[in-house]
Structure 1
Amino acid sequence: MGGLLAPFSHGFMLEAIGVGSVVAIACALLSCFIVLKGWSLLGDAISHAVLPGVVLASAAGVAIGIGAFIAGMACALGAGFIQSHSRVKEDAALGVVFTGMFAAGLVLLAFVTTEAHITHILFGNILGIEPEDLWQTLIAAGVTVAVLAVKGRDLLLFCFDAAQARSIGMNIAALRYLFLALLSAAVVAGVQAVGVILVVALLITPGCIGYLLADRFGRMSAIAVAAALAANLVGIVASYHLNASPAGCIVVTLSLIFAVVLVFAPVHGLLAARRRAPPSRA
């Protein structure tokens, strides 16, 4: 038991668990909206598209969170522009824009001198976050949670039925841009914890877990947050004992939780669906 609890005797481990918990809450809450809206590809796109912004910001001595936020918004707006002014559909436009921006970031890393290490950008550095990056992460995650607390009902209606939201006088365009801004802010927070590649897992998987276990949004959100917090804690502790990547362990743990829920969820799980299926006729 002493060996199992050894990680909690180190200050950097406790700090990593605390930072990861804040990021997990912000991303899990937002993931519920992403799953309901069907914008999982958008979350994937923005999480990868922030790479050139991170590289350029680091090279210029600017807070990488600012570069990541600008790049994320540029990806979303660029894909929207392509969709509106061409025959290319939104999913294809997102695929073109985010892969292009991610590749541009990889190319920039070869020519731009930056203090940010490539592995820290791609896979996070939750065990060694610098103080200035720590504050960026906490502020981005805190702002995301605060805005969701204030505008969550409006965004929920926007995700469920945009036509109804428009008919009662809501500004759909403003809600869309707000959602994109929150998504970019969540990516900024998640990049420090798990990197630009794996942050998409925090933005999608918790919402999927909640969606399989609940039919009401409040309960779905609570389950998503609980799953993300559990994965953060177990993943970081496991990384200490396995001497493995904390980001990888967090995402693997979250994926395992999803796999268990997918099979054993009492109403929407695979076993439940099999029990409800009518018997086959010989």
Structure 2
Amino acid sequence: MNLIDFFLEPLSYDFMVRALATTLIASIVCAVLSCWLVLIGWSLMGDAVSHAVLPGVVLAYIVGAPFALGAVVFGFLAVALIGAVRDTSRVKEDAAIGIVFTTLFALGLVLISVTPSQTDLNHIIFGNLLGVSWADLIQVIILGAITFAILVTKRRDFTLYAFDPTHAHAIGLNPKILGAALLGLLALTAVVALQAVGVILVVAMLIIPGATAYLLTDRFGRMLVVAPAISAACAVIGLYLSYYLDTASGGMVVLAQGAVFALVYLFSPRHGLIGTRVMSTRRRRALASAQ
């Protein structure tokens, strides 16, 4: 098999074309949002919201409403409950997040188990990338486009909120509204990624790309380019590997992202564990030779 056949053979199947399109859209949108999540320190909050949307998605399926509506409602509900537990008890925020998101996630599992359905609702949990229909792809395109457009349009406001919410308030912005908007976009993004990797692995797609880019550059503008580029490349690599190795497609996409993060963590010139030592050794040798 030559290189051209290697790339074209999977695309001869419609389900692979739909899977590739869905994965690319989900990966890019998740990667862009992940830059703010990593910068603000909302990784655990991203985990909470991505899991807490499960009962909302199931209830939306039951009543015939859009998945995004149920996800956004329960995403905000999770945030409200976390704040209530944190502010009205001795429980700290990390514990409150763990209590709320695990409880809501368990509620979603119970709802799935008792909901009569002609389709397997477990794909919401584990993902069903190769079973994405054209209708699912259209939903992913619409939600992904809305989320991406808002993030790009309001990127300066979100960035200022991430770096200095006090200054954002001083110039007339409302930090609470910006934070709520990011949480709403997080819920929408979780719905987009559900089609690709399911609830369990959504958090990986929401954190790994931004964390990887954070180790590669000190400029946030570059992060917004590097993170989706890496995520898109991992989407293609993971999907092709899953096709030829006959493995879980969503899992391979996330595994590819994890492998890239490990390489960057070790060999990044500025912040890598080994890369920084190599650079410092070269500097010392250069200084020694100059003397």
Do they fold alike, i.e. is TM over 0.5? yes
Q: Which of 128, 134, 138 in structure 2 is aligned with 1:135?
A: 138
Percent identity, please. 45
Alpha-carbon deviations, 1:198-254, whole Å to 9, x = none? 011110000011000001011112110111001110111111111111100100001
Over aligned residues, Cα RMSD in angstroms? Answer: 1.8
> What amino acid is aligned across from residue 151 of structure 1 in structure 2?
K
> What amino acid is aligned across from residue 12 of structure 2 in structure 1?
S
Say whether residues 1:190 and 2:187 are aligned partners. no
Taking the TM superposition and a 5 Å limit, the aligned residue runs for 1:1-282 are: 1-2=1-2, 4-5=6-7, 6-275=9-278, 276=280
Partner of 2:289: none
The 10-residue stretch of structure 1 (57-66 or 42-51) with the greater mean CA deviation from structure 2: 57-66
Counterparts of 1:247 and 1:117, CA distance in 2: 17
Q: CA deviation at 1:106?
A: 1.3
TM norm structure 1: 0.93
Gaps of at least 5 residues in structure 2 are 285-291
> What amino acid is aligned across from residue 69 of structure 1 in structure 2?
V
SS at structure 1 position matched to 2:274:
helix
Cα gap change, 1:244 to 1:172, in 2 (>3 Å): same
The 10-residue stretch of structure 1 (4-13 or 220-229) with the greater mean CA deviation from structure 2: 4-13
Q: CA deviation at 1:272?
A: 2.8
> What amino acid is aligned across from residue 89 of structure 1 in structure 2?
K
The 10-residue stretch of structure 1 (64-73 or 214-223) with the greater mean CA deviation from structure 2: 64-73
TM norm structure 2: 0.90
Counterparts of 1:128 and 1:110, CA distance in 2: 21
Residues 69 and 188 of structure 1 are in contact (CA less than 8 Å); yes or no, is this contact kept in structure 2?
A: no
Number of residue equivalences: 279
The 10-residue stretch of structure 1 (134-143 or 206-215) with the greater mean CA deviation from structure 2: 134-143
Residues 55 and 116 of structure 1 are in contact (CA less than 8 Å); yes or no, is this contact kept in structure 2?
A: no
Counterparts of 2:178 and 2:145, CA distance in 1: 19
Residues 268 and 276 of structure 2 are in contact (CA less than 8 Å); yes or no, is this contact kept in structure 1?
A: no
Please say which structure displays the higher CA radius of gyration. Answer: 2
Counterparts of 1:173 and 1:116, CA distance in 2: 39
Counterparts of 1:119 and 1:112, CA distance in 2: 11
> What amino acid is aligned across from residue 171 of structure 2 in structure 1?
I
Gaps of at least 5 residues in structure 1 are none
> What amino acid is aligned across from residue 181 of structure 2 in structure 1?
L
